[in-house]
Chain A
Amino acid sequence: DVKVTQSSRYLVKRTGEKVFLECVQDMDHENMFWYRQDPGLGLRLIYFSYDVKMKEKGDIPEGYSVSREKKERFSLILESASTNQTSMYLCASSLLRDTEAFFGQGTRLTVV
C-alpha cells in the first residue's frame, strides 16, 4: 500500500514564526502536492512538484514556499505564519499525472 506520511497531526504556532510542514511518500511517486482545506472553500492547491527540485504554483501560493530536495519528501514552508493560515493541510502524491492520488492524514495548523 502507498503510504503518505505527514510529520505532525496538530501544530500550534505563533504569528510571524517560520513553519515547516513535512510530507514523505514511500512509493517512488513522481508527483507531490500540498492542499489546504477550509470549511466552505473545499480543498485548494497551494503548490505541486513533478520532480526533484521542481515546483509549480497552484491556486493559492501566496505566503507559502516549498522544497523538494529528495524525491520522497515535499516540504511546505510558511515564511511568516499569519492567523489566516490556520487550516487543515493535506499532502498527496501520485505516480504520474493521470494516476491515482494518495493523501496523508493531514496536519491541523493553528496560528495564534
Chain B
Amino acid sequence: KQEVTQIPAALSVPEGENLVLNCSFTDSAIYNLQWFRQDPGKGLTSLLLIQSSQREQTSGRLNASLDKSSGRSTLYIAASQPGDSATYLCAVGNTDKLIFGTGTRLQVFP
C-alpha cells in the first residue's frame, strides 16, 4: 500500500530564506507527483506536476524534483515571502487516484 510522508510537519522561516520541503513515498510505481498549496479553509491550488519520466519541474521561484528510485521528491522555494505562508501538500498518482501526504505547514515571517 502506497504511503506518502512529508517532513517537516511545520516550518517557520524569516522572509528571504530559501527552503526545501520533503516528500517521500513507499512505492515507486507512480504515474506522477503533484505539489499543491492550500490556504486555510480553502481548496487546493496546483503548483507543479512532475511526470514519472521527469526529474524536475520549475515554475517561477518554485522547483520540484523527483527521484523515483529512492521514493523522494523535494519542493524548493527560493527567496521566500510572507505570501508563501500556507500548507504544502504532495500527492502521488498511483493507479486510479492521488494519494496525499499530510502536508507541511509553512509560515514565512517578515
A contact residues vs B (CB 8 Å cutoff): 4, 6, 33, 40-43, 45, 48, 56, 58, 90, 92, 97-106, 108
Contacts and interface: CB of A to CB of B under 8 A. Distances in A.
B46 A104 contact: no
Contacts of A106: 41-43
Q: Which of B44, B46, B96, B101 has the most CB of A within 10 A?
A: B44
B34 interface: yes
Contacts of A99: 49
A103 B93 contact: no
B100 A48 contact: no
Contact of A104 (B32, B43, B97): B43
Nearest to A88: B41
Contact of A97 (B36, B45, B96): B96
B44 A98 contact: no
A48 B97 contact: yes
A45 B97 contact: yes
Nearest to A33: B97
Contacts of A103: 36, 43-46
Contact of B42 (A33, A43, A102, A105): A105
B8 to A, nearest CB: 16
B98 A101 contact: yes
A33 B96 CA distance: 10
B97 A58 contact: yes
Interface in B6-49: 31-32, 34, 36, 41-46, 49
A101 B46 contact: yes
Contact of A101 (B34, B41, B51, B102): B34
